[in-house]
Structure 1
Amino acid sequence: MLKGIVKPLLIACTFSVASAQAFDVKHTSVAPIIDGQQDAVWQQAKWHDMPYLMDGTLPEKADFNGRYRLLWDENYLYLQAEITDDMLIDTHADPLDRYWDDDALEIFVDGDASGGIHQFNHTALAYHIGLDNQAADIGDDEKAHLYNDHISSIWKRQLGTPNTVLWEVAIKRYPNDYTDADPKAAILLKAGDVMGFMLAYCDNDGSDVREHFMGDHDFEAQNGSKNLGFITADVFGKITLRK
């Protein structure tokens, strides 16, 4: 998320995705427990790295390093992220105030992989999950809202590696016509579904703004900015749900 409001008309609509993630996600018959601890069920899922700079400066691996894996059942897309961050920062007590400048896990989901501008609508969502496990995004009224009923999130520091946290999230999927005034029910997931997906991390090391914004795949736009996921789902990768 950029600081302040950026109107979509200012952003070029042609994107070149250099190495977008596109992979299959395995079904699980046993739902992972969202508790920030390792479950045996996760051993069937493949790790994906988060090495790409999307905004700010490139950190050293001791400052930030991240990877994640996914599973699904009919109710949720499950995420387990392993994040190394040498300094956890949450300076804004209000979860709707500059949440992108605190440490946050940012999950981008396009339920039907239709792409397009979503900054002020919910054809896709950019969940900024703060260290308090609350999920914020811009609503269709151009104001920040909490979408805590969309996700369940828990993270914990790992014993023996205090700078590493295991962050687990269960994510529901919503239809394109979801609005804040008229919320729709979540949609069940099924084998063969293709979804837009991208994962990023906002990393603040103690300054007034985040220093690093790291993601799981690389892309470029005509204006040179890579901080575009909160505006357009065209830069997301794609996942396919498999039995």
Structure 2
Amino acid sequence: MKWTIYLLSLVCFVSCTEIKTKKNSQVTPVSYIKDTPTLDGRPIENYWNLLEWQPIDQNWIGGPFDHNDYNGKYKMAWNEDGLYLLLEIVDDTILDQTEDPLKLWWNDDCVIVYVDEDNSGGQHRFNHNAFTYHVALDGNVVDLGVNEKPTLYNDHIISKHQTEGNTTYWEMHIKIYPSLYNDEPNIKPVILTADKRIGFAVAYADNDNSEERENLIGSVFVPGENKNAGWIDANVFGTLQLVK
């Protein structure tokens, strides 16, 4: 009788503590490219024309905005060395008011790239179960490190942008690091393969001329009241499906 009670208790414990993984929500197929883009903010390579635009239109922070003030979309591709991201951002005012890249980096106009290498979801505020890369206009890339301090990850994302009128084109190469990454230089990026699924979202922080950002507009729908949950919770990311 005691063993029966013990086994029932063990089954209950295992079922109650079962690890839950993130669902493959808002799945976006990403096509393979053999040739690496020239990162210059000028999307002149032919394969960019073959890929579909995806919208960046979910208002996570701030009030309503006019599409003359902001409009954004992106395209993606991949090869073994990482993801390649093209953005077209229409913004009538581009602001870079904080010179120190490790201070108030979220309040300047910037692109935010959310990456969860194994699409597992979960919390990532002070660990690298997932990343929230803030890509600044000067090319600096900031996220919180495992030491709980803002840290530069300029070797994780290489970016270039060009602005013509109110339209800015960004091109980025995003290296994908595993969740065991702990800010040590000996951990290498993952070699990508077909059928891999990666948690992902991209957002644009828009500040026309204020002390704080006025809007944060993202690429995925986030349920609930806290639309800006992605910086600590990878469960709200979408899912990239690498196809070849």
Report the TM-score, using the length of structure 1 for normalisation. 0.88
2:52 maps to: 46
Taking the aligned partners of 1:157 and 1:40, their CA distance within structure 2 comes to 20
3-state secondary structure, aligned to 2:230? coil
Deviations 1:118-162 (A, max 9, x none): 11100110110011011100111111000001111000013xxx1
Cα distance in structure 1, aligned partners of 2:186 and 2:91: 35
**Secondary structure class of the residue paired with 2:166:** strand
| Counterpart pick for 1:28 among 28, 33, 36 | 33
What is the rounded CA distance, in whole Å, between the counterparts of 2:67 and 2:221 in structure 1? 18
Change (3 A) 1:182 1:156: closer
**Could you tell me which of 139, 143, 159 is aligned with 1:137?**
143
Structure with bigger helix share is: 2
* Corresponding position: 1:191 with 2:197: no
Deviation sequence 1:150-180 (CA, Å, 0-9, x none): 111000013xxx1000001000011111002
Secondary structure at 1:219 match in 2: coil
Q: Distance between the aligned counterparts of 1:104 and 1:36, measured in 2?
A: 15
Amino acid at match of 1:238: T
Select 1:176's aligned residue among 159, 176, 179: 179
Q: Choose between structure 1 and 2 for higher RCO, CA contacts under 8 A separated by at least 6 residues.
A: 1
Using the TM superposition, give the Cα deviation of residue 32 of structure 1 relative to its aligned residue in structure 2, in angstroms: 1.2
Q: What pairs with 1:74-153 in structure 2 (closer than 5 Å)?
A: 74-153=80-159
Deviations 1:50-97 (A, max 9, x none): 111001112110111000000000001000000001000011100111
CA RMSD of aligned residues (A): 1.6
Which residue identity does 1:189 align to in structure 2?
L
The 8 Å contact of residues 123 and 176 in structure 1, kept in 2 or not, is answered as: yes
SS at match of 1:220: coil
- Aligned ranges for residues 55-74 of structure 1 at < 5 Å? 55-74=61-80
Aligned to 2:214: 211
Runs of 4+ displaced beyond 4 Å: none
Aligned to 1:9: none
Correspondence 1:201-240 to 2 at 5 A: 201-221=204-224, 224-240=225-241
**Looking at CA atoms only, which structure, 1 or 2, has the larger radius of gyration?**
2
Using the alignment, how far apart are the partners of 2:87 and 2:219 within structure 1? 11
Report deviation, 1:194: 0.3
2:42 to 3, 26, 37: 37
Deviating more after overlay: 136-145 vs 36-45: 36-45
Secondary structure at the aligned position of 1:108 is classed as: strand
TM-score (ref. length: structure 2): 0.88
Distance in 1 (alpha carbons) for counterparts of 2:90 and 2:37: 22
User: Which residues of structure 2 form unaligned runs of 5+?
Assistant: 1-22
Across the two proteins, how many residue pairs are aligned to each other? Answer: 222
